């Protein structure tokens, strides 16, 4: 099959010449053979796993929160160029949008549902690993469902044969019920012959939280979406993304914190490095809906540009329909600063070594948050092999 679809819509459109209002996935001759998510390596106590869930099953899981979302709608107009209506048909709004739902539906992809029991704080991670071979074309869908007052950690790792070519497209949807917490870690170390998308959509009810860590280190072209609806009061969303793009790699992302409840908190951090002819588009939106009184949101983007041929697009959006909020966005984009370089050099570390050190530092500062030593070591090794 051929894929041609528009994803990662900026929540509020802007000038067309910036070419960042959305992104097109255009991939030809894909033969999707596998749509089943691999079984978790082991299933800790307090966690249950169900495969082959239909979209109706998923709708049932999200029915309660979706009704609550519906009830919260107000008459306040959306932003100029509002793209939210495009994704109205989604079961759960995700970063990449409705086209992913359509694709999964068309390809009859069933979901793997991972559920944590009410009141159970499960510390041991659920580990899902994709080990892809040359030529593999895979779609997958997962739902992580943390019932009331439970906690669950899921680590998803994508590896492939070093020179392999292929496709991996995933959608992961999260529901954190009242007082629940979901930690989701995604580590992508595919070879450059892979096309990859990774779409996340979450809903947090009262006092719930979602904490995501994304390490994007491989694949030739990557699309990533991550949207969290902070539906409940005092719900929180934390995200840390680290990415390293080199050669002709591209990474196109769309992150949205949809702050609906009172006293919600979002905190999104992005640290990246662009080398060679890499292209990156970052969209990050804090969306304070009317009624989100007392909410705070913070987005920080820090990008190191290490080649004259990179392209860096950054769209840091703040939408606001509520008076009592505090939102901020900061971005710092550029090469190694003179002061940084001088300090490094004064310790005998020359420019080339300083660059490598800073690349590793950036990636490690995110990677080390992953609660699995073995993966951190694999990330370190992967980075060492590419720089």
Partner 1 sequence: MSEQSLLQVRDLSASVEDLPILYNINLDIKAGETHVLMGPNGAGKSTLGYTLMGNPHYNVTSGQILFDGQDLTNESADKRAKAGMFLSFQNPLEVPGISLGSFIRNAYHEQTGKPVKLLQYKKQLGEAMELLTMDGEYADRDLNVGFSGGEKKKAEILQMLMLNPKLAILDETDSGLDVDAVRTVSKGIQEYQKKKDGALLIITHSTKILESLHVDYTHVLVKGHIVTTGDGSLVEEINEHGFEKYVRCEGCDGCSPLK
Partner 2 sequence: MSENNKAVVDIDRSVYDIKDVENEQDFYRMEDGFTEDIVRKISEEKHDPEWMREFRLKSLKIYNELEMPDWGPDTDGLDMNLISSYVRSKSDMKGKWEDVPEDIKNTFERLGIPEAERESLAGVGAQYDSELVYHNVKDEVAAQGVVYTDMESALTGEYADMVHEYFMKLVPPTDHKYAALHGAVWSGGSFVYVPKGVKVDIPLQSYFRLNAAGAGQFEHTLIIVDEGADLHFIEGCSAPKYNVANLHAGCVELFVKKNARLRYSTIENWSKNMYNLNTKRALVEEGARMEWVSGSFGSHTSYLYPMTILKGDHSNMEYTGITFAGKGQNLDTGAKVIHQGKYTSSVISTKSISKSGGIGTYRSSVTINKEAKHAKTSVSCDSLMLDSISRADTIPGMDIRTNDADVGHEAKIGRISDEAVFYLMSRGLSEEDARALIVSGFANPVSKELPLEYAVEMNNLIKLEMSGG
Q: Which residues bind partner 2 (CB under 8 A)?
A: 10, 12-21, 76-77, 79-81, 274, 286, 288, 290-291, 293, 305-335
DSSP 8-state secondary structure symbol assigned to residue 379: H
Shortest reach from residue 194's CB to partner 2, in Å: 26
Q: Please check whether residue 227 is in contact with residue 255, taking contact to mean a CB–CB distance below 8 angstroms.
A: yes
Phi (first) and psi of residue 17, to 5 degrees: -65, -15
CA-closest candidate to residue 7, choices 91, 72, 88, 101: 101
Compare residues 79 and 371 and give the one whose CB is closer to partner 2.
79
Shortest reach from residue 350's CB to partner 1, in Å: 4
Total Cβ atoms within 10 A of residue 160:
25
Residue 343 interacting partner from partner 1, partner 2, none (CB closer than 5 to 8 Å by kind):
partner 1
- CA distance linking residue 228 with residue 210, whole number of Å: 8
Q: Is the dihedral of CA 15, 19, 23, 24 positive or negative?
A: positive
Instruction: Identify residues 322-351 at the interface with partner 1 (CB under 8 A).
Output: 338-340, 342-351
Compare residues 279 and 349 and give the one whose CB is closer to partner 1.
349
Shortest reach from residue 360's CB to partner 1, in Å: 7
Q: Collapsing DSSP states into helix, strand and coil, what is residue 340? A: helix
From 66-74, 222-230, 232-240, 362-370, span contacting partner 1 (CB under 8 A)? 362-370
Residue 140 interacting partner from partner 2, partner 1, none (CB closer than 5 to 8 Å by kind):
none
Token output for 254: 């769309």
Phi (first) and psi of residue 343, to 5 degrees: -60, -45
Shortest reach from residue 163's CB to partner 2, in Å: 29
Residue 369 engages partner 1 in binding (rule: CB under 8 A): no
Residue 310 engages partner 1 in binding (rule: CB under 8 A): no
- Distance (Å) of CA 136 to CA 155, 197, 266, 347, 378: 21, 14, 36, 47, 22
Residue 14 interacting partner from partner 1, partner 2, none (CB closer than 5 to 8 Å by kind):
partner 2
* Interacting residue ranges for partner 1, rule: CB under 8 A: 338-340, 342-351, 353, 357-358, 360-366, 368
């Amino acid at each position: 099959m051929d894929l041609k679809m528009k994803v990662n819509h900026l929540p509020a459109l802007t000038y067309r010449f910036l070419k960042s209002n959305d992104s097109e996935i255009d991939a030809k001759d894909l033969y999707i053979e596998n749509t089943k998510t691999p079984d978790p390596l082991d299933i800790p106590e307090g966690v249950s796993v169900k495969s082959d869930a239909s979209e109706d099953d998923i709708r049932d899981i999200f029915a309660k929160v979706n009704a609550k979302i519906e009830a919260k709608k107000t008459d306040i107009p959306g932003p100029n160029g509002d793209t939210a209506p495009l994704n109205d048909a989604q079961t759960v709004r995700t970063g990449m949008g409705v086209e992913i739902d359509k694709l999964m539906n068309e390809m009859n992809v069933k979901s793997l549902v991972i559920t944590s029991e009410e009141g159970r704080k499960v510390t041991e991670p659920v580990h899902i690993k994709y080990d892809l071979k040359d030529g593999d074309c895979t779609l997958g869908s997962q739902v992580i469902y943390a019932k009331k007052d439970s906690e669950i950690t899921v680590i998803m790792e994508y590896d492939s044969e070093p020179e392999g070519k292929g496709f991996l497209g995933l959608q992961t949807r999260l529901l954190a019920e009242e007082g629940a917490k979901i930690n989701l870690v995604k580590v992508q170390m595919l070879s450059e012959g892979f096309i990859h998308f990774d779409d996340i959509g979450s809903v947090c009810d009262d006092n719930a939280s979602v904490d995501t860590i994304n390490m994007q280190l491989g694949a030739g072209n990557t699309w990533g979406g991550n949207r969290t609806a902070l539906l409940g009061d005092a719900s929180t969303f934390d995200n840390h993304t680290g990415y390293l793009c080199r050669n002709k790699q591209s990474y196109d992302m769309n992150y949205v914190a949809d702050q609906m409840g009172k006293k919600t908190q979002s905190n999104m951090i992005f640290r990246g490095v662009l080398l060679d002819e890499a292209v990156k588009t970052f969209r990050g939106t804090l969306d304070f809906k009317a009624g989100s009184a007392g909410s705070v949101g913070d987005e920080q983007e820090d990008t190191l540009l290490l080649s004259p041929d990179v392209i860096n697009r950054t769209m840091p959006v703040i939408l606001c329909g509520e008076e009592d909020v505090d939102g901020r966005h900061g971005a710092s984009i550029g090469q190694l600063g003179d002061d940084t370089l001088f300090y490094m050099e004064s310790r005998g570390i020359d420019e080339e070594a300083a660059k490598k050190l800073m690349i590793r530092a950036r990636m490690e500062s995110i990677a080390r948050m992953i609660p699995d030593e073995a993966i951190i070591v694999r990330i370190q090794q992967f980075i060492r092999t590419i720089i």
